[in-house]
Structure 1
């Protein structure tokens, strides 16, 4: 039996190990952070009925009403506890996501070599591209599983199984509707281009939705409702990312860059692939248009809630699937001389890879994407290289982009923290990509001939090296995640079991103390879906803003000004008097005339706050506790 057939399983295992190494290097584990905090407390609330009833996040209905994720999450928390339950389900989610990616890439390319190369590009580039619509998110949320099901469904669609795709998307809809809607739209348009009768079903859907709206079936009544002025004003500030007219350059740049990259992809895609990419392009552009008209201009509740611009996560994913494939195809048409399509395309994808670890490099990558589009379009149309002047101009642009990247890299090196881990991750990921390219047959020498177990040494070593830097949790995050019970000294200083305020961190009340939080900026995520949450969030925000606490960092919760306030016992007394039900304040600073009770934490809590136009980093492990019963 030939060696390549005899040891095929070795090559398969090597590819799995290398993809796992690439994942660990490019997508660090963050623990219960960002949106994972909200979904974890929802699952915890299901395990402890009534414990968090007075928490602002639950008082007027949480996002749990839109997802079945807590049903999946609760058994893991019950069996393994907070830290291990989150970790185990996260790993399962990552595996499901990669499996869904494999199904989509395989359905799109129909070639084992291209499938592996495509998966590597999507894993290595994705995280740093677009913070608002990134896929395969590291923190555990239902998006991870909904994206996996959506990719699996689209892969089934490309293989000719539209009904299977529809069923999978139906399951995904109950896990995370917003992440699934783009996939549903792609399935519909892809099928409707060949089955015109489907447009009739779309026409029928309009009166059905109106019937559901008039019948009060949630969430359809929202299609007939608009945000009132007071509610809209709160949402516009707290959830400004839902309104396209509020986006800044850091959000528009990667979004627009995806459309440029899609145009490059279309040049090198086969007819089969081009049709799929075109549909994804239409759905993404349509999502932006619907959000702009229905959300920013008409202020329709349902359209704002749906955030249809989030469908761009599919376009973001698809263009990165073509990273390796486009390089393989352009190599067959163009040499790698300076200024050629092959060279500028390689530079662009290289910068996008680096942007995974240093997001600021997206600026240089976006500029190079425009240059690359021009060069590739020229060579594709005229079947010849650019003239000398054109190549010279392209070389100048490439030099400028690389120079800007070096400046960004230098700036990152002199302004830690965690930059060294980013550089380490980038190095491991780069080596892993080279090995994967060789293993999958992307090199000029052809495919790799698998050998017995000795051939697994390099992939195993790379996975081990990537694993060393995978856990990016700060000491404070580890303390919160792993605290099975409240520290005795802290519990003794806090009165009752009701809501407390913890400056700059909602996770200690939720996960360490297992008690309600009275106010935090994170709880404001619910203002989009509930007017009651919005009004009460704003009222509490106005009260606590007077203390200039770390919750008001100039992003989702803007401060009155950039000055750090020196507060007194009288200020704290006013806050308690204006906050019915609040039992205690836990602050990172001491009142000028009242020392309060002091608790020293086992780790430092770090908050980044914009003061005087400069982002400053504050770290403390000393907290000052004030009982509202004594202050009122």
Structure 2
């Protein structure tokens, strides 16, 4: 490759990355790590918060020690952007180092890297297990350290790998430990397949002991109350509570892991097989220790998260595996090639449309059957084979189209508080344009005409990527900025007051930087600390009138009607420490004690993944509501 081609290829990769990982700001788990860093800077302000009062996940990571000073210097909004940028850069460099250690040919490596960025990186319930997340958490840095450690060991630099892996464990042990197990299995595979089998089989056998009702483990089991709260709040931790869609996604990944391992050889084979074994170990340990054994430590460790490294291995090595199948004559009919080519398209579509897993699983099964037939020496020749392949390919395309139409509505809700259609169009334009640009470079088609055309297209797409990279909604920009000293919001929410703001946890945590009395999101620590589960379960019934928090949708029956005066009186009476309730809608027959105009879109009641125009929120004083209830109680 010439320097011009290499430069254009790097621009193409950057376009694919920008299309798949735009900047969404502080959302999902990034909220918790931002709040943990803020709590280090302002411990008194968060001391009564439900998420922190009994302990938080902050004690298991060194991330906040590094994140908090950056926030203090640059402010939260800029600090998160800096952490996101550094984290993504580290992750990309580490992933490229791993790809270089696994794939010698530069062209094949570039295609593999496109697959890593383009294919769906998520498995599990709602994609809770993934890699390369588009926000700043310690998982991003732990993944980067883990990938760099594996690359370093493959290159013979074991000390560097050990140091990198130690840093990953310090950042997020639940991410780095599966990488360590993968490395151990790879080293055993290099010695002999028998050593690998003994280690893997021994791990499964030891895990199987957790299926037995051993009295020695009773002290570590979750009691019935704690288990019930954890299952309702964090049901995705329990495999038996996974919906069929989550199993289809995970099953597709496990199946493709076997396909990749059966197709490749050498270091690529060892990595694919070790990653598959690691994912299976995590799944079995989760079932035995969490679903059956109800062990607190296993539940908190969430060993199913080991699937992240399997998803990464599959997405990185799938394209080289398909190339090898084609080069070895396994796909000697055009229809077989088209069928296999449909698989990457499906995996890429599944990234934005989770329901496309309906199509991905059967197409993966068919690909696996093709590989098995090839390994068994079966060749597709003759008219009967042609009819079979034509029928299978036609059926697969038809089913792919049906699944695409079934999941089309998901496009409109594919990103937080932004227009789903615009977000999807941006992703398709940049990712598709980057992939097409890379194809023209690697196939040498630009040489026949002019490289300047490719450079013009690349620069134009890169400019569009930069201009649209910030995909935050107005609501997120509002919540991420610290409230000014003279802002009316400071009068609306008195300092150090106990406040419940429906759908406004980010306002209280990030903009006001003080404790929130309750939100369903704050119950995430219930699986780690029993005291948190108790407090969460006690407060949850008081706020069943809420309609604006997506984390509550699996916990309670969401009311279709706006909250009433009786709902607020009940909440304030049940919660003596609660000072104020802030609602996005006005309560009928009840005068609010204060009103605040939110200058940006807010979550919509009963549809919190959407946003509505700016408007007023209303504060109700619990002391007034309790006094109004006294005459009724006396009567």
How does the TM-score come out when normalised to structure 1?
A: 0.87
The residue number in structure 1 matching 2:12 is 18
Partner of residue 81 from structure 1, selected from 72, 75, 80: 75
For 1:164 and 1:400, locate their aligned partners in 2 and report how far apart those are by CA, in whole Å. Answer: 50
Alignment correspondent of 1:150:
146
Describe how 1:276-291 pairs up with structure 2 within 5 A.
276-291=271-286
Q: Distance in 2 between matches of 1:341 and 1:321?
A: 22
1:217 is aligned to none
Matched-pair contact (CA < 8 Å) for 2:112–2:320? yes
1:218 counterpart residue number = none
- Quote the Cα distance in structure 2 between the aligned partners of 1:275 and 1:101: 17
Offset at residue 403 of structure 1 (A): 2.0
Distance in structure 2 (CA, Å) of the matches to 1:413 and 1:170: 40
Once the two structures are TM-superposed, the CA of residue 259 in structure 1 deviates from its matched residue by: 1.3
Distance across 2 between alignment mates of 1:566 and 1:409: 33
1:94 is aligned to 2:88: yes
Aligned equivalents of 1:424, 1:312: Cα separation in 2: 29
Question: 1:273 and 1:348 mapped to 2: Cα distance?
Answer: 20
8 Å Cα contact 2:330-2:374 kept in structure 1: no
Matched, 1:435 2:437: yes
2:620 corresponds to 1:626:
yes
CA distance in 2, matches of 1:471, 1:574: 42
Give secondary structure in 1 for the equivalent of 2:496. coil
> Judging changes above 3 Å, is the alpha-carbon distance between structure 1 residues 430 and 202 closer, same or farther for their aligned structure 2 residues?
closer
CA distance 1:334–1:22, change in 2 (3 Å):
same
Does the 8 Å CA contact 1:481/1:511 hold for their aligned counterparts?
yes
Name the counterpart of 2:499.
Answer: 500
Question: Which secondary structure does the structure 1 equivalent of 2:500 belong to?
Answer: strand
| In structure 2, distance between residues paired with 1:489 and 1:11 | 55
Cα separation, partners in 2 of 1:412 and 1:452, compared to 1, 3 Å:
closer
Cα offsets for 1:560-597 (capped at 9, x unmatched): x54425411x4323312322332211112222221202
CA deviation after TM superposition for structure 1 residue 57, in Å: 1.1
Q: Provide the rounded CA distance (Å) in 2 between the counterparts of 1:584 and 1:617.
A: 24
- Label 1:426 to 1:129 Cα distance change in 2 as closer, same or farther (>3 A): farther
- Partners of 1:334 and 1:340 within 8 A in 2: no
Q: Is the 8 A contact 2:123 2:246 kept in 1?
A: no
Alpha-carbon distance in structure 1 between the residues aligned to 2:80 and 2:429? 28
Choose which of 128, 141, 144 in structure 2 pairs with 1:132: 128
Asked if 1:367 is matched to 2:362, the reply is: yes
Contact 1:295 1:303 in 2 (8 A): yes
Q: In 2, distance between residues paired with 1:53 and 1:184?
A: 36
Higher mean Cα deviation, 34-43 or 453-462?
A: 453-462
Gapped runs of 5+ residues in structure 2? 204-215, 627-635
How far apart in 2 are the matches of 1:455 and 1:482?
Answer: 40
Distance 1:31 1:22, change over 3 A: same
Residue of structure 1 aligned with 2:548, choices 516, 533, 550: 550
Equivalent of 2:569 in 551, 573, 592? 573
Distance in 1 between residues matched to 2:332 and 2:111, nearest whole Å:
23
| Paired residues of 1:339 and 1:392 also in contact (CA < 8 A) | no
1:482 CA drift (Å): 2.8
| Alignment pair present for 1:518 and 2:517 | yes
SS at match of 1:321: helix
The 1:524/1:446 distance shift into structure 2, 3 A limit, reads same
CA distance in 2 between counterparts of 1:202 and 1:373 reads 26
Query: 1:198–1:271: structure 2 CA closer, same or farther, 3 Å change rule?
Result: closer
Q: Is the 8 A contact 1:365 1:401 kept in 2?
A: no
8 Å CA contact 1:341–1:376 kept in 2: the answer is: no
Check 1:631–1:28 CA distance in 2 against 1; reply closer, same or farther (3 A cut): same
Instruction: For 1:577-592, list aligned pairs within 5 A.
Output: 577-592=573-588
Q: 1:172 to 1:128 in 2, by over 3 A?
A: closer
SS at match of 2:484: coil
Distance apart, 1:151 and its partner CA: 0.6
Q: Out of 33, 57, 66, which is 1:63 matched to?
A: 57
| CA displacement at 1:249 relative to structure 2 | 1.4
In the alignment, which residue of structure 2 is the partner of 1:418?
A: 420
Classify 1:334/1:421 alpha carbon distance in 2 versus 1 (closer, same or farther; 3 Å): farther
For residues 301-329 of structure 1, give each alpha carbon's deviation from its aligned partner in whole angstroms, at most 9, with x where no partner exists: 11111111111111101111123323432
Q: Does structure 1 retain, via aligned residues, the 8 Å contact 2:121–2:351?
A: yes
Residue of structure 2 equivalent to 1:606: 603
Q: Is the 8 A contact 1:595 1:624 kept in 2?
A: no
- After superposition, the C-alpha distances for 1:485-509 in whole angstroms (9 at most, x for unaligned) are 3772222233342221110231000
Offset from partner CA, 1:519-539 (integer Å, 9 cap, x none): 011101111111111100111
Query: Could you say which residue in structure 2 is the equivalent of 1:118?
Result: 112
Deviation at 1:380, TM superposition (A): 4.5
Q: What is the distance in 2 between the residues matched to 1:437 and 1:389?
A: 31
Give the TM-score, by structure 2 length. 0.87
Map 1:476-495 → 2, pairs under 5 A? 476-485=475-484, 488-495=487-494
Determine whether 1:39 maps to 2:33. yes
User: Does the CA-based 8 Å contact 2:190-2:270 persist in structure 1?
Assistant: no
In 2, Cα distance between equivalents of 1:56 and 1:450: 64
Q: CA RMSD in A?
A: 3.2
* Partner of residue 298 from structure 1, selected from 293, 299, 305: 293
Partner SS, residue 592 of structure 1? coil
Q: What are the residue-to-residue correspondences of 1:156-195 with 2, within 5 Å?
A: 156-194=152-190
Counterpart contact for 2:122–2:131, Cα < 8 Å:
no
Change (3 A) 1:58 1:411: closer
**Deviation sequence 1:421-450 (CA, Å, 0-9, x none):** 2023113211201222343x3x3x599799
| Corresponding residue for residue 207 of structure 2 | none
Do 1:554 and 1:610's aligned partners in 2 also have CA atoms closer than 8 Å? Answer: no
8 Å contact kept, 2:325–2:331: no
Secondary structure of the corresponding residue to residue 501 of structure 1: strand
2:589 corresponds, among 593, 604, 621, to 593
What secondary structure does 1:354 align onto?
helix
331-340 vs 343-352, greater mean Cα deviation: 331-340
CA distance in 1: counterparts of 2:431 and 2:413, whole angstroms: 22
Q: Deviations over 1:14-53 (max 9, x none)?
A: 3333222211111121100000000001111112232211
